[in-house]
């Protein structure tokens, strides 16, 4: 957990109450997001950032809420898109985004209502490492942690 939230807990304040006060929310900060703050430092940093950038709050509070317009892609589409993406990446010179770009893109995706958990489809079974974040963009079906690292990739909603 990130330091500012560690401090809240060390002061004996319940984390949910602490974040609710930090963001000056009228309703308690959602329990499902408290759990995420504890295990996802990138998300936690974004929540902390929202204490000074209030415009982030509405999108953050929607994280993890299933969107009716989320699209489920077939395995065939996912494999086809993956192959196309690899070829395009190759054509652009296999360039990797800088850490700064990766972090900025990741923050945007983390607050996007189209982020969702990978489905149990075969196309998402392969992990690069055991701890790989398998959150996906439900618009394009890409694994976000991989997509943000490829310099030529673009957000299908033009958010980055």
Smaller CB distance to ligand SF4: residue 21 or 132? 132
And the tokens for 55?
Answer: 């415009």
Would you tell me which residues interact with ligand SF4 (CB under 6 A)? 108-109, 112, 114-115, 137, 139, 144, 155-157, 159
Least CB distance to ligand SF4 at residue 101 (A):
13
Task: Compare residues 61 and 144 and give the one whose CB is closer to ligand SF4.
Answer: 144
Q: How far is the CB of 137 from ligand SF4 (least distance, A)?
A: 3
Distance in Å, CB of 156 to ligand SF4, minimum: 5
Closest to ligand SF4 by CB, 60 vs 137, is: 137
Q: Rounded distance, CA 77 to CA 98, Å?
A: 29
Q: How far is the CB of 79 from ligand SF4 (least distance, A)?
A: 19
Cβ-based nearer residue to ligand SF4, 30 or 153: 153
Tell me the DSSP string of 79-124.
HHHHHHHHHHHHHTT-PBPPHHHHHHHHHHHHT-TTEEE--S-GGG
Question: Distance of CA 109 to CAs 3, 87, 103, 141, Å?
Answer: 23, 24, 10, 13
Compute CA 91 distance to the chain's CA centroid, rounded to the nearest angstrom: 27
């Amino acid at each position: 957990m990130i330091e500012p939230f560690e401090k809240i807990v060390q002061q004996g304040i319940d984390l949910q109450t602490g974040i609710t006060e930090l963001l000056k929310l009228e309703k308690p900060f959602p329990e499902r997001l408290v759990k995420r703050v504890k295990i996802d430092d990138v998300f936690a940093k974004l929540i902390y950032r929202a204490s000074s950038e209030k415009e982030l709050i509405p999108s953050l509070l929607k994280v993890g809420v299933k969107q009716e317009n989320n699209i489920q892609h077939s395995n065939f589409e996912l494999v086809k898109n993956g192959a196309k993406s690899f070829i395009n990446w190759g054509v652009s010179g296999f360039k990797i985004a800088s850490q700064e770009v990766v972090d900025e893109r990741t923050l945007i995706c983390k607050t996007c209502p189209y982020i969702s958990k990978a489905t149990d489809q075969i196309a998402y079974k392969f992990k690069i490492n055991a701890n790989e974040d398998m959150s996906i963009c439900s618009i394009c079906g890409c694994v976000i942690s991989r997509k943000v690292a490829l310099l030529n990739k673009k957000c299908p909603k033009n958010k980055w």
